[in-house]
């Protein structure tokens, strides 16, 4: 697996399409254990990102990811903007000067992204946040010698679904305490769409 600049642009565009298509669902999830703005936040943020990156002649994946990060940080209100922004910024830094981005570089970039999210959110695994999708994805990339995009999408989906049984101890959902159990974490759902979009692009479907 390698990612060209065009692949990275396609990844971001495909992520945006999924955010738009699932905007209401993400909002519904956030209505259950938050303030109901996650769908709006992600759909608006990713649309702004696509507006920014389309029609630009990028020659490096790092630049695409940096613009993605900066736009998410500045345009997305709420906790999620800075968190997703940090993830893409760390990824951008990690892949700088490596075009096309090879598997090992990308895997390292994902690990850096997770570290960034954890640091920024002061969150660890199992606290029912987007860390619970990004972190298993790092493990997946680290372990899979025989990489399959279908398996990757499936793992991301499983990770998202596992947040249902967790009790939130970070973010707004933490106010719900035990009542947060039984609901999928909104940020994990949007993270699943990001990895599902990546699987589509690598698999040649987007
Ligand atoms: P807000 O919570 O400000 O309304 P959003 O609704 O857009 O922002 O995003 C909520 C998501 O952000 C949660 O579902 C969770 O995944 C993630 N999140 C919130 N706080 C944290 C944190 N401290 N660390 C990691 N992720 C967090
Ligand atoms: Mg919210």
15 lines ligand 1 (CB under 6 A): no
The answer, yes or no, to whether residue 100 has pLDDT greater than 90, is yes
Tell me what pLDDT residue 147 has. 82
Domain count of the fold of the chain:
1
Q: What is the 3-state secondary structure (H, E, C) of 2-70?
A: EECHHHHHHHHHHHHHHHHHCHHHHHHHHHHHCCCCHHHHHHHHHHHHHHHHCCCCCCCHHHHHHHHHH
The pocket of ion ligand 2, defined by CB under 5 A, consists of 30, 34-35, 37-38
The answer, yes or no, to whether residue 146 has pLDDT greater than 90, is no
**pTM for this prediction:** 0.97
Q: Say if residues 25 and 43 touch (Cβ distance below 8 Å).
A: no
The answer, yes or no, to whether residue 52 has pLDDT greater than 80, is yes
The answer, yes or no, to whether residue 205 has pLDDT greater than 80, is no
Residue carrying structure tokens 């909002």: 27
Residues of the domain holding 135: 5-202
Assigned token pair, 185: 């974490």
Q: How far apart are CA 128 and CA 164, in angstroms?
A: 8
The alpha carbon of 33 and the centre of ligand 2 are apart by a number of angstroms equal to 8
How does residue 123 score in pLDDT terms, banded at 50, 70 and 90? very high
CATH of the domain at 14: 1.25.40.340
The answer, yes or no, to whether residue 206 has pLDDT greater than 90, is no
What is the 8-class DSSP label of residue 121?
A: H
């Amino acid at each position: 697996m390698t990612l060209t600049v065009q692949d990275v642009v396609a990844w971001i565009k495909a992520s945006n399409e999924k955010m738009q298509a699932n905007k209401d669902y993400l909002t519904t999830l956030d209505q259950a254990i938050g303030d109901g703005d996650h769908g709006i936040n992600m759909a608006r943020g990713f649309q702004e990102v696509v507006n920014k990156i389309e029609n630009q002649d990028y020659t490096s994946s790092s630049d695409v990811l940096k613009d993605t990060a900066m736009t998410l940080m500045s345009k997305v209100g709420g906790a999620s903007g800075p968190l997703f922004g940090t993830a893409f910024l760390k990824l951008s830094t990690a892949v700088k000067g490596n075009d096309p981005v090879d598997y090992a570089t990308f895997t390292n970039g994902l690990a850096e992204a997770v570290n960034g999210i954890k640091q920024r959110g002061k969150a660890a695994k199992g606290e029912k946040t987007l860390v619970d999708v990004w972190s298993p994805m790092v493990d997946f990339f680290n372990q899979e010698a025989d990489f399959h995009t279908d398996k990757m999408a499936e793992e991301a989906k499983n990770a998202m679904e596992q947040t249902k049984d967790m009790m939130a101890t970070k973010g707004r959902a933490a106010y719900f305490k035990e009542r947060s159990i039984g609901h999928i974490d909104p940020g994990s759902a949007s993270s699943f769409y990001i990895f599902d979009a990546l699987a589509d692009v690598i698999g040649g479907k987007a």
